[in-house]
Amino acid sequence: MTVGGAPYGAIDDAVMAVRDGRIVWIGPRAEAPEFKAVSTTRLDGRWVTPGLIDCHTHLVFGGDRTAEFEQRLNGATYEEIARAGGGIRSSVAATRAATDAGLIRTARKRLASFVAEGVTTIEIKSGYGLDLETELKMLRAARYLDGDARVVTSFLGLHAVPKDQDRDAYVAMIVDEALPAAHAAGLVDIVDGYLEGIAFTTAEVSRLFDKAASLGLPVRLHADQLSDGGGAALAAFYGALSADHLEFTSQAGIDAMARAGTVAVLLPGAFVALAETQKPPVAALRAAGVPMAVASDCNPGTSPMLSLRAAMNLACSQFRLTPEEALAGVTCVAAKALGLAAETGTLEVGKLADLAVWDIERPAELSYWLGGGLLHRSWRAGVPVVA
Ligand code: DI6
Ligand code: FE
């Protein structure tokens, strides 16, 4: 992928050599040197892609929100439910009540769905704790899940203001106490926030991002999902790895992202689940050269989605990505969104041997089929996962 000029950067009749978990050679069989291989695996003409990367999930949470799903089907909106104390806050109550083991057990089941379809790297956020203890519990659970897939954690303390709590005191607790504590415990790879009318303001997110910068941590932002709050421009101002959602992002926001090299993360699962009508400005992002990632946003409220390939399908059918863009969006661009572009996301010498092998005739099938088991085998850093 992305090597050479063929569509998808595809190499026909290829050979790949892996040593110590990294790709040490890749190219056409005709050009391959003699390898003193310890073991050889034949893939019989199958397609091999980088292991898939889901760069935006809320995989760890207690309970579920089936009741809200039914309320929305009866006409209630997500914002109405949130303002009435449901939404994120109802997952907070269930997550606080869950034990470490319980959180891990339920998240591991969900993770298995992603691994079974070739995901070898997954990002997991906190944000259903909203107190020091539970945010740390969520992040510990996320770290613990690292195994079949590599886990990248995001600290999402500014996800919602907890019930009956003073806003300013809450923001101060997250910024001055919870983030430094989680960072000191080695639990934070990226700092995330939710900028939205029903969530946090530019000033509040800025306080968080200033703290992240002082700790040397990269940032990303849930931006412009339900309204244009200037989130894309704020993310770009802070040099964010990504700005996510972007349904309401303006041209000024897009231009700022292009200048900053901030990735646009598209989340069609939330768009569909909320029956939104405002689509992210894909044509303008493309025209501005902003790289687009695609992710599941797996979460109990707005995207109860257990398949990254389903997100690829919806990114094409709903947002008009090409299948090639969708595949880039869950491989090389997703790696960039997580700051891992030097390590994974393409099949190139020096990168980790994160591989997915598919029972398909052509790569567009990965976006074409909505669900279904197309994976033949997978490896994380040269270690077999699905065998
Ligand atoms: N945007 C989302 O789509 C999720 N979080 C966020 O900031 C929704 C989370 C939830 O409703 O539980
Ligand atoms: Fe999200």
Per-residue pLDDT tens digits for 79-129: 899 888 889 999 999 999 999 999 999 999 999 999 999 999 999 999 999
The pLDDT of residue 177 is 98
Q: Which of these, 359, 371, 349, 352, lies nearest to 269 by C-alpha position? A: 371
Sign of the alpha-carbon torsion through 205, 207, 210, 214: negative
- Ligand 1 pocket residue status of 299, Cβ below 6 Å: yes
Determine the 3-state secondary structure of 361 from DSSP: coil
Least confident range from 46-55, 77-86, 135-144: namely 77-86
- Ligand 1 pocket residue status of 183, Cβ below 6 Å: no
Q: Note the ligand closest to the C-alpha atom of 157.
A: 1
Neighbours of ion ligand 2 (CB under 5 A): 297
Q: Are β-strands 190-193 and 355-358 bridged in parallel, bridged antiparallel, or unpaired?
A: unpaired
Tokens of 30: 């005709």
**H helices of the chain, where?**
66-73, 78-83, 88-97, 100-115, 132-144, 167-172, 179-184, 202-215, 231-237, 251-260, 268-273, 282-288, 308-319, 323-329, 332-337, 365-368
- Ligand 1 pocket residue status of 125, Cβ below 6 Å: no
In which band, very low, low, confident or very high, does the pLDDT at 2 lie, cut at 50, 70 and 90? very low
Side-by-side strand order, sheet with 150-158:
52-54, 119-125, 150-158, 190-193
The pLDDT of residue 84 is 87
CA of 347 to the centre of ligand 2 (A): 28
**Which residue out of 222, 299, 303 has the highest number of ligand 1 atoms within 8 Å of its CB and is therefore the one to mutate?**
299
In which band, very low, low, confident or very high, does the pLDDT at 1 lie, cut at 50, 70 and 90? very low
Q: Looking at ligand 1, which residue's alpha carbon is closest to its atom 4?
A: 302
**Which residue out of 192, 222, 267 has the highest number of ligand 1 atoms within 8 Å of its CB and is therefore the one to mutate?**
222
Residue whose token pair is 């997110």: 205
Are 327 and 367 in contact by the 8 Å Cβ rule? The answer is: yes
- CA quadruple 251, 252, 255, 261: dihedral, nearest 10: -120
Q: Which of these, 372, 63, 342, 239, lies nearest to 221 by C-alpha position? A: 239
Q: Note the ligand closest to the C-alpha atom of 199.
A: 1
- CA quadruple 318, 321, 327, 333: dihedral, nearest 10: -110
**Residue 9: Cβ within 10 Å count:** 16
Q: Looking at ligand 1, which residue's alpha carbon is closest to its atom 2?
A: 302
Q: What is the pLDDT of residues 299-341, one digit of tens each?
A: 999 999 999 999 999 999 999 999 999 999 999 999 999 999 9
- Ligand 1 pocket residue status of 194, Cβ below 6 Å: yes
Q: Looking at ligand 1, which residue's alpha carbon is closest to its atom 7?
A: 194
Residue type for 142, please? A
Count Cβ neighbours within 10 Å for each residue of 153-184 and write b for 16 or more, e otherwise: bbbbbbbbbbeeeeeeebbebbbeebbeebbe
The pLDDT of residue 82 is 87
- Ligand 1 pocket residue status of 315, Cβ below 6 Å: no
Tokens of 378: 């997978």
- Ligand 1 pocket residue status of 297, Cβ below 6 Å: yes
Q: Note the ligand closest to the C-alpha atom of 244.
A: 2
pLDDT at 3 over 60: no
DSSP 84-99: TT-THHHHHHHHHHS-
The pLDDT of residue 37 is 84
Tokens of 164: 């009956």
How much of the chain, in percent, has pLDDT values that exceed 70?
Answer: 99
Q: Give the contacts of 381 (CB within 8 A, at least 6 positions apart).
A: 21, 22, 150, 352, 353, 354
- Ligand 1 pocket residue status of 268, Cβ below 6 Å: no
In which band, very low, low, confident or very high, does the pLDDT at 6 lie, cut at 50, 70 and 90? confident
Which atom of ligand 1 lies at the shortest distance from residue 78's CA?
11
Which atom of ligand 1 lies at the shortest distance from residue 194's CA?
7
pLDDT at 272 over 90: yes
Q: What is the pLDDT of residues 26-50, one digit of tens each?
A: 999 999 999 998 899 999 999 999 9
- Ligand 1 pocket residue status of 302, Cβ below 6 Å: yes
Are 229 and 196 in contact by the 8 Å Cβ rule? The answer is: yes
Which atom of ligand 1 lies at the shortest distance from residue 297's CA?
3
pLDDT at 241 over 60: yes
pLDDT at 10 over 60: yes
CA of 311 to the centre of ligand 1 (A): 16
Are 63 and 94 in contact by the 8 Å Cβ rule? The answer is: yes
The percent of the chain in helix, strand and coil, each rounded to the nearest 5, is: 40, 20, 40
The pLDDT of residue 371 is 87
Q: Give the contacts of 61 (CB within 8 A, at least 6 positions apart).
A: 91, 94, 95, 103, 106, 107, 128, 138, 299, 300
Tokens of 237: 């101002």
Q: Which of these, 70, 51, 113, 98, lies nearest to 305 by C-alpha position? A: 113
DSSP 116-180: TTTEEEEEEE--S--SHHHHHHHHHHHHHT-SSSEEEEEEEEET-PPTT--HHHHHHIIIIIIHH
Strand partners, 383: 380
Strand partners, 22: 19, 352
Q: What is the pLDDT of residues 189-222, one digit of tens each?
A: 999 999 999 899 999 999 999 999 999 999 999 9
Looking at every residue in the chain, the average pLDDT score rounds to 96
- Ligand 1 pocket residue status of 220, Cβ below 6 Å: no
